[in-house]
Structure 1
């Protein structure tokens, strides 16, 4: 049985279990990890900061729509889920929700009317948020956000996934950790990074693998597969821990640069990660991005006031990289189609070394996006182009053109296969049918 059928079978079984839970288990919300004082008030700007740290804008804002007014389509193996309106509009948003209602949605996935939210809402992770941060976010959304009347398209998944009571059984599997945060106690800086990664940043939602029941296989520090890599919508979310992680060869400062700006000497943020940088990480303080980087790297780092432009890295000091660069430089008339297409379309920015230009054109040699198990990211970028968002520290909006109108499917397959095997890259080839499928999406 393939993975997709295992997932569907598992979810159907969960639906049956959910019906039993619906009949026999009363609906209830988790108790707070701590009680706030009756006169508690959030610090100035705390709620807005939590909103950015939790990446609320990216999911709850439709393309061209009002901020936080919902309507953004979110793909899932079961179908499209439409994000909700979380502005304080009383008719279509959360304007009449109490703090308890809001907290129930954040950590238990239960809306004010008792409806189970689909776990596209990462309440698996948000239940790690502190009670202060949850309350501060609620106060900000209710008191500081402009109400927008926007009736969002209702999510209509096929049977049996349209029966939301099945999520009650899913929650029994997924929510095995109680509300609240448990610091590893490594250092004050790394503990802060751990909190941001586990809770508001909900990094495990993408960077941990999924079980056959689509729960996150690793939510907290110490879980076996926590941040060991995942696949989201056909894109690799690389591992963030271990010797083979995306940041293994980056310094703490370089990792913090990437978080704050979406670029460093090693990589540029594309796809969902680009949205995370654009709507979330660029708004964090230098201290917090350093804290995240320090936690991921397992070492403390010094706070930097601003990211500094780095010099051009040296060409790869390996025989495979040197051989590829030499072959491209010679430009022999009998050169294969793949490298010839690279010279014609890519070498002006990424160079014959495959190293690109730091913080402008990402390197292709050793790039996890290029060499990952999923071919969709590279093919999508060749066809449709890519961009690195403008941020406060790096205002330039960098755009790569797409080649869908210039290259046919066979040519894209040859080009992608070359890039995945050049300069010491050792990834599988790309087929013409792979390209055709992605072009048609």
Structure 2
């Protein structure tokens, strides 16, 4: 009898140990899935302030109309709680729901198609067991005909999407290939930074094409090329992704949300891998060459403050205190205007938007302070904003085209509507 009790105690102890190990393994898998959800930036589109996490409802403006993000909590009525892992994978990687409904590519499934099975498994575990269910019912997407006919996405997918898994870059280091995987799949950087074709499709999905990450236009905001980033060091790329700022620039537009919800949560190893991959790509269109003579002339005229044009006067009155007469700003605080991408963009919409609406840097773990630029829409009329933007685009080393009052009016109208 004594032997029986000893054996029973041992078996019970082993059972508790095995159960604890299983729970630890489950917790680790869910933790991995949470990190992968950060890599995929799921929260930026599916979470709204004041609403339960991942309960959807974000209004995504597109050329087709407004698309609302869905509830992806494990709620069984409003969310994805009844999805099997295969159905979850099909939704994420193929844009197909369990009932056959086709998603619009506002959900970046053409990029998510490259997510590995291992990462998909962890992601599923997190959304099913690490996210609180919510019965929140977001607005239904209701596009006009013919875009309301979701079955047509079957043909769009056939023509423009891909189901090919991630393919490592031949001859590249393990770090560069880790960066390639993150950028091409979970990071879905190409959904904004790769030019679009006639079908509103990404023209390329990997580094085999020079079109990949070569820049584009998103809702009137010119999106820069990420290929090579020759003006930035690898560390400056890491700083920008981790904090939303570096010694030359600060985030604006949609990128603020990306840093806030995704890249600022990445490990140093993954941030460096992304930076190494972007540097590896090369072939970035060059910004204006440094023109020390022109830059010095602009600085001298602003310093003297005599015989100023309207644009120069407006700059001194509204911008000079932070960006200075040099146009260099303050490293890590106020972004540089001389040779800045947003300043020299062919489409001045991003610069105009920033002047009118202002900008605010995100608060991140490595840079908790929130720095804000005020908007000047209430203070400057269209002609004044045009004069200011034209000066900035043509001062120092910048060589961009002039801005008209009509350009400003168009952006102002869009801001009022949205």
User: TM-score w.r.t. structure 1 length?
Assistant: 0.84
**2:79 counterpart (71, 93, 102):** 93
Give per-residue Cα distances to partners, 1:96-118, cap 9 Å, x unaligned.
11111110011110012210000
The alignment status of 1:408 with 2:381, answered yes or no, reads yes
- Which residue of the partner structure matches residue 251 of structure 1? 233
Query: Relative to structure 1, is the Cα distance of residues 183 and 40 closer, same or farther in structure 2, using a 3 angstrom cutoff?
Result: farther
CA distance in 2 between partners of 1:427 and 1:252 (Å): 27
- Report the Cα offset of residue 218 of structure 1: 0.9
- Report the Cα offset of residue 185 of structure 1: 4.2
CA distance in 2 between partners of 1:348 and 1:373 (Å): 27
- Which residue of the partner structure matches residue 321 of structure 1? 295
- Report the Cα offset of residue 183 of structure 1: 4.0
The alignment status of 1:73 with 2:59, answered yes or no, reads yes
- Report the Cα offset of residue 42 of structure 1: 6.2
- Which residue of the partner structure matches residue 18 of structure 1? none
CA contact (8 A) 2:239 2:246 kept: yes
The alignment status of 1:189 with 2:189, answered yes or no, reads no
Decide which structure has the larger Cα Rg and report it. 2
CA contact (8 A) 2:30 2:126 kept: no
Task: Give matches, 1:178-327, under 5 Å.
Answer: 178-242=164-228, 247-298=229-280, 318-327=292-301
Secondary structure class of the residue paired with 2:67: strand
Give per-residue Cα distances to partners, 1:100-145, cap 9 Å, x unaligned.
1110011110012210000100001001110011111111011011
CA contact (8 A) 1:106 1:126 kept: yes
CA distance in 2 between partners of 1:180 and 1:434 (Å): 41
CA contact (8 A) 1:260 1:289 kept: yes
The alignment status of 1:58 with 2:44, answered yes or no, reads yes
- Which residue of the partner structure matches residue 284 of structure 2? none
CA distance in 2 between partners of 1:236 and 1:248 (Å): 19
CA contact (8 A) 2:291 2:397 kept: no
Give per-residue Cα distances to partners, 1:199-233, cap 9 Å, x unaligned.
10001111110010111011112123111111111
Report the RMSD for the aligned CA atoms in angstroms: 1.6
- Report the Cα offset of residue 182 of structure 1: 3.5
- Which residue of the partner structure matches residue 418 of structure 1? 391
Moved segments of 4+, more than 3 Å: 39-44, 179-185
CA contact (8 A) 2:89 2:120 kept: yes
- Which residue of the partner structure matches residue 8 of structure 2? none
- Report the Cα offset of residue 65 of structure 1: 2.6
- Which residue of the partner structure matches residue 363 of structure 1? 336
More helix by share: 2
The alignment status of 1:341 with 2:311, answered yes or no, reads no
Give per-residue Cα distances to partners, 1:320-353, cap 9 Å, x unaligned.
1111101101100x31100000000000000001
CA distance in 2 between partners of 1:177 and 1:221 (Å): 17
CA distance in 2 between partners of 1:418 and 1:100 (Å): 55
The alignment status of 1:440 with 2:392, answered yes or no, reads no
- Which residue of the partner structure matches residue 370 of structure 2? 397
- Which residue of the partner structure matches residue 157 of structure 1? 143
CA distance in 2 between partners of 1:200 and 1:222 (Å): 18
CA contact (8 A) 1:42 1:132 kept: no
Task: Give matches, 1:374-393, under 5 Å.
Answer: 374-393=347-366
Secondary structure class of the residue paired with 1:215: coil
In structure 2, stretches of 5+ residues that fail to align are 1-24, 282-289
Give per-residue Cα distances to partners, 1:374-428, cap 9 Å, x unaligned.
2211111111110110110011111111111111111111101111111121111
CA contact (8 A) 1:183 1:195 kept: no
- Which residue of the partner structure matches residue 128 of structure 1? 114
- Report the Cα offset of residue 268 of structure 1: 0.5
Give per-residue Cα distances to partners, 1:248-275, cap 9 Å, x unaligned.
1211111111111111011101111111
CA contact (8 A) 1:63 1:72 kept: no
